[in-house]
Amino acid sequence: MKPILPLLMLLSIPHLATANAVADSPETTQVLDTIIVHATQPTNSDAPFSFDKSDYQGDLTKLPIGVFDSGIGGLTVLEAILSLDAFNNDNLRPEADGRPDFANERFIYLGDQANMPYGNYAARRKEDYLRELILKDTLFLLGKRSFDMPTSTKPRFDKPPVKAIVIACNTATAYGLEDVRQAIQKWGIPVFVVGVVEAGARGVNELISPTDAPSTIAIMATVGTCASNAYPKAIDRVTGLAGKRIPTVIQQGSVALAGAIEGDPAFVKNPHGSNSATIADYIQNDVTSLVENYRQSGPKEPIKMVVLGCTHFPLVEEEILKAFERLRTMDSNNDGKLPYQQLVAEHLQVVDPAKLVAKELFRRLAADRLRLTGTQASILKEDSFYMSVPSPNVAASLKTTNGDLTVEHKYGRETGKLYVEDTRVVPMRVEMLPESSRKLIQNRLPQVWKRLGK
């Protein structure tokens, strides 16, 4: 067996368990109020993090739909949206009709790569800064402002605004969904917002039957999502409302897996030799830590269900399942006893919230009469993909040798500096992504690849 302890040390970040992600402090309210005012001041119409409310008058049907995540993870949600065929496109009945449900719609995707991992802000007590980032992502989607290239001297203003927003990130949903909804309500624009956590809880609920024996559900997510307790709360609520037995929920926060999936050299084996851990190492350690902690908490029923509570994780779903299976059949003490066999069900059920998010998006568009039907066409010819990059104006001392923001800078920033753009949004091109993430998209997300990989 591979040694797991050195990597497990990475996971033991103090005060994670107590980080309260969702409490409203006076500072938090101020973050929201400041950005709400900044975003629509008439004198600010060209400023960063602003949008023009007059774009939201009249018929919005032809506008694209915005989807955002901290990185490429949200592309797993976009893939589910693009490939959904759960409805009849003509009469809206819940039956497949052989046509993609969003055939006429176009999408604008944003991955906030320069500021990720979102999952690690709470552990550094930077929840408010994370909330500001989530509102900035929203403002990018509502506005028209972007940059041609990382080195462009001026922004351009031709990106179309969006008619709906999907927060395709569990961490951003846990920390920012309510802020985004409140801000949109204060701006008085008819844009609805769909998040991923509630959808995950509904996915769990669908798999539990009222006659089931007690079961345990494992949430694999970022440390931030776990610290927020968004999943245990949502599962309690949804299963309770459905009159079902509330399952035991255990959580494993991963410090590094999302970053490793992004190919971020801070987290994963890289040619400069500064890190030798692989994606498989992180998965094995996260799964081992989860099940071992569960074992130590006393005899229980086996884990039956695993929720992929980070949108990056469906990209490595097979590897996660293999890690559970490996543990289940592992004779760790070479004594013929299998210490984890009783703790992991032989056939694990996997919940990926993405498909439920796609269905919710369809229903909301239909209910708000915002769907493009028949031969109606979006104002956007093709889906467009954007990502954030560090601004060239950031001092070299605040960047790593790869050009990324240093960890100290990333997690040392203060809220409220809305005219300072240390990152900027540019079109995402496949060659800008590390080869490893490019391959994951190509192999696992065919609909997205068709559009992005052109």
Radius of gyration of the chain (CA): 22
Of the candidates 205, 285, 289, 273, the one whose C-alpha atom is nearest the C-alpha of residue 239 is: 205
Of the candidates 134, 135, 115, 225, the one whose C-alpha atom is nearest the C-alpha of residue 171 is: 225
Q: Are 132 and 28 in contact (CB under 8 A)?
A: no
Q: How remote is the C-alpha of 272 from its chain's centroid? A: 28
Please report how close the Cβ of residue 70 comes to ligand DGL at its closest, in angstroms. 3
Of the candidates 166, 168, 172, 137, the one whose C-alpha atom is nearest the C-alpha of residue 388 is: 137
Cβ nearer to ligand DGL, comparing 66 with 73: 73
Q: Is 302 exposed, middle or buried (0-12, 13-18, 19+ CB in 10 A)?
A: middle
Which stretches of 299-439 are assigned E, i.e. beta strand? 303-308, 344-351, 384-390, 423-427
- Sign of the alpha-carbon torsion through 328, 333, 337, 343: negative
Please report how close the Cβ of residue 53 comes to ligand DGL at its closest, in angstroms. 30
Please report how close the Cβ of residue 256 comes to ligand DGL at its closest, in angstroms. 9
* HSE-CB for 352 with a 13 A CA cutoff: 23
Helices 74-83 and 435-444 cross at an angle (nearest 10°) of: 20
The whole-angstrom separation of Cα 454 and Cα 445 is 14
Please report how close the Cβ of residue 297 comes to ligand DGL at its closest, in angstroms. 25
The whole-angstrom separation of Cα 248 and Cα 126 is 29
Site residues (vs ligand DGL, CB under 6 A)? 69-71, 73, 116-119, 169-171, 222, 225, 258, 310-312
Q: What are φ and ψ of residue 225, in 5° steps?
A: -60, -45
Cβ nearer to ligand DGL, comparing 73 with 263: 73
Cβ nearer to ligand DGL, comparing 69 with 422: 69
The whole-angstrom separation of Cα 8 and Cα 28 is 32
Cβ nearer to ligand DGL, comparing 130 with 344: 130
**117 preceded by a cis bond (ω within 30 of 0):** yes
Cβ nearer to ligand DGL, comparing 60 with 72: 72
Which residue do the tokens 């996915």 mark? 203
Q: Are 417 and 386 in contact (CB under 8 A)?
A: no
Please report how close the Cβ of residue 424 comes to ligand DGL at its closest, in angstroms. 18
Q: Are 109 and 162 in contact (CB under 8 A)?
A: no
The whole-angstrom separation of Cα 397 and Cα 258 is 25
